[in-house]
Amino acid sequence: MTEAPPYPQKRTCPYEPPAGYREIGERGPVLKVTLFDGREAWMVTGYRESREILTHPNLSSQRTHPGFPIVAPRFRSQIARTLALIAMDPPVHDVYRRYLNPHFSLKSVRRMRPEIERIVAGFVDRIVEHGPPADLVPLLAVPLPSLVICRHLGVPYEDHDFFQDASGKVMLGTEEESATAAQDLFDYIDRLVAEQIKDPSDGLLGTLVRERVVTGDIGHDELVSIALVLLIAAHETTSSSLALGVITLLEHPEQLALLREDPDRLPGAVEELLRYIATTDLVATRVAKGDIEIAGHLIREGEGVLVSGTLANRDAAVHQRADELDVLREDSHHLTFGFGIHQCLGQNLARMELEVAFKELFTRIPGIRLAAPVGELPILGAGTVQRVLQLPVAW
Ligand code: HEM
């Protein structure tokens, strides 16, 4: 038996798992991997085993626990270790979710659709005006999630350059950049929350002030950390999924043709793309707060646990032709939004942004094609969000 393979590894193709993940997958569904700091952690690669462990009562999200696995230097910062929701366990975690879930339900998100359609149409207008070649990263993938979450929260979009830059650095910067950017964001939101408490606006922050701060359920500082997480979680993930989704469809013209034939296929295609591209790569980082038995292994209290979305989404035990993109697939169940109590709060919103953006882009610009070979597109990030830095297209 060779030693625990290194994790994470870099992708060379934006939508394909790194070559080294084949070995990790073959040694799964549960194995040990080596992290950048030389420590080992358990990794779960099987789809069923991932769901099983993510609902295990002995799994904890407490990032301040000494055994919590750190997958990249930037996650060592104090802010990263104390994030609202993401770094919390029940009961407080569940209370926060109860406050927030209604504002991200399918019903709430459907009400936002006309506005999201207007926003997307505006960005596509600008791409058309710009003319080919156009880089879809600054013209669509980055500003769309930013504008949508700012509108939803009631945060001034004038400051979007600052948010985009800061949340990008939090997720993908060096340790120092990430910590400084998180602190800058924190200070900014701190001022914003103070203003909202004095004079609540119509957005979600104002609503939370009226529903939860005025009632004494949560305080100023709690609202700041909730807003911080919402901003960080909404930006990079959606932006990268959008860019990776466009690349993947342009690289699979026969699949794109199926969507052009019948746009009603788009919601299913979005699910399949989310499965296939697995933007988040790693969908959960946890520590065992008690022993866990899984797939014949014993994970001991205090050991780190990682769940690989990339591998679980391609698990041949549950997906037929797992490595094939098939937008007509009816069972594209995936773990790209995680599973269990921490499952993505913004998933309905993300799905809608992707669906509306793909529809508008491929309808308005029928001749769209990649303006650079896919192997030359710069990608950043391993073990977390896969970020495409440039996406030049022509038509
Ligand atoms: C395609 C886009 C997105 C992807 C792939 C994604 C992925 C994920 C994943 C994998 C988790 C689970 C983390 C874990 O279990 O530790 C998560 C949690 C979360 N996501 Fe998303 N996300 C996306 C978009 C969004 C958006 C638009 C929002 C906006 C509010 C959002 C807010 C959150 C929050 C607040 C959590 C923490 C939930 C909790 O701990 O209870 N996400 N997301």
The rounded mean pLDDT for the chain is: 92
Confidence of residue 2 (pLDDT cuts 50, 70, 90): low
Q: Are strands 292-294 and 369-370 parallel, antiparallel or unpaired?
A: unpaired
Nearest CA to ligand 1 atom 41: 342
* H-helix segments, 199-292: 204-208, 220-251, 253-261, 266-277
Print burial letters for 93-117: b (CB count within 10 Å at least 16), e (below 16).
beebbeebeebbeeeebeebeeebe
**Which amino acid makes up residue 331?**
D
Ligand 1: which atom is nearest the Cα of residue 285?
16
Percent of the chain's residues with pLDDT above 70: 98
- Ligand 1 centroid distance, CA of 1 (Å): 36
- Ligand 1 centroid distance, CA of 254 (Å): 31
Percent of the chain's residues with pLDDT above 90: 76
**Does residue 223 contact residue 212 with C-beta atoms inside 8 Å?**
yes
**pLDDT 10s digits, 339-392:** 999 999 999 999 999 999 999 999 999 999 999 999 888 887 655 678 888 999
Q: Which residues lie closer than 8 Å to 25 by C-beta, 6 or more apart?
A: 17, 45, 311, 314, 315
- Ligand 1 centroid distance, CA of 392 (Å): 27
Ligand 1: which atom is nearest the Cα of residue 286?
16
**pLDDT 10s digits, 58-77:** 999 999 999 999 988 877 77
Bond prior to 267 in cis (omega within 30° of 0) = no
**Distance between CA atoms of residues 22 and 6, nearest Å:** 12
Ligand 1: which atom is nearest the Cα of residue 104?
30
Ligand 1: which atom is nearest the Cα of residue 309?
10
Tokens matching residue 331: 């069972």
Task: Report pLDDT for 381.
Answer: 67
From 167, 150, 164, select the one nearest 202 (Cα to Cα): 150
Ligand 1, from 53, 93, 148, 344: best to mutate by most atoms within 8 Å of Cβ? 344
**Does residue 41 contact residue 72 with C-beta atoms inside 8 Å?**
no
Ligand 1: which atom is nearest the Cα of residue 338?
10
Ligand 1: which atom is nearest the Cα of residue 341?
41
From 389, 390, 388, 379, select the one nearest 9 (Cα to Cα): 379
Q: Is the pLDDT of residue 211 over 80?
A: yes
**Does residue 388 contact residue 378 with C-beta atoms inside 8 Å?**
yes
Quick one: fold of 21-394? Cytochrome p450 (1.10.630)
Task: Report pLDDT for 383.
Answer: 55
Ligand 1, from 149, 171, 237, 286: best to mutate by most atoms within 8 Å of Cβ? 237
Find tokens 């080596």 and name the residue. Answer: 34
**Does residue 30 contact residue 42 with C-beta atoms inside 8 Å?**
yes
Task: Report pLDDT for 1.
Answer: 47
**Distance between CA atoms of residues 143 and 163, nearest Å:** 10
219: left (phi > 0), else alpha (psi -120 to 50), else beta?
beta
Ligand 1: which atom is nearest the Cα of residue 61?
16
Q: What are phi and psi of 377, to 5 degrees?
A: -75, 125
- Ligand 1 centroid distance, CA of 342 (Å): 8
Confidence of residue 322 (pLDDT cuts 50, 70, 90): very high
Tokens matching residue 254: 């026969």
Query: pTM for the full model?
Result: 0.95
Instruction: Provide the 8-state DSSP code for 2.
Output: P
- Ligand 1 centroid distance, CA of 97 (Å): 12
Q: Is the pLDDT of residue 179 over 90?
A: no
DSSP for 285-354 reads: EEEESS-EEETTEEEPTT-EEEEEHHHHTT-TTTSTTTTS--TT-S-----TT--GGGS-TTHHHHHHHH
**Does residue 323 contact residue 234 with C-beta atoms inside 8 Å?**
no
Tokens matching residue 312: 């679980």
* H-helix segments, 131-219: 136, 143-153, 160-172, 175-198, 204-208
**Does residue 384 contact residue 72 with C-beta atoms inside 8 Å?**
yes
Nearest CA to ligand 1 atom 30: 346
Domain assignments of the chain as residue spans, ordered by start: 21-394
Nearest CA to ligand 1 atom 38: 342
- Ligand 1 centroid distance, CA of 85 (Å): 10
Task: Report pLDDT for 178.
Answer: 80
Nearest CA to ligand 1 atom 39: 342
Q: What is the SS3 assignment for 164?
A: helix
Confidence of residue 3 (pLDDT cuts 50, 70, 90): confident
Q: What are phi and psi of 292, to 5 degrees?
A: -130, 130
Length of the chain: 395
- Ligand 1 centroid distance, CA of 230 (Å): 9
- Ligand 1 centroid distance, CA of 366 (Å): 32
DSSP for 187-209 reads: HHHHHHHHHHHHS--SSHHHHHI
Nearest CA to ligand 1 atom 20: 344
Higher pLDDT, 187 or 50: 50
Pocket around ligand 1: residues whose beta carbon is below 6 Å from it? 85-86, 97, 149, 229-230, 233-234, 237-238, 241, 279-280, 283-284, 336-338, 342, 344-346, 349-350
Nearest CA to ligand 1 atom 27: 234
Task: Report pLDDT for 10.
Answer: 86
295: left (phi > 0), else alpha (psi -120 to 50), else beta?
left
Confidence of residue 78 (pLDDT cuts 50, 70, 90): confident
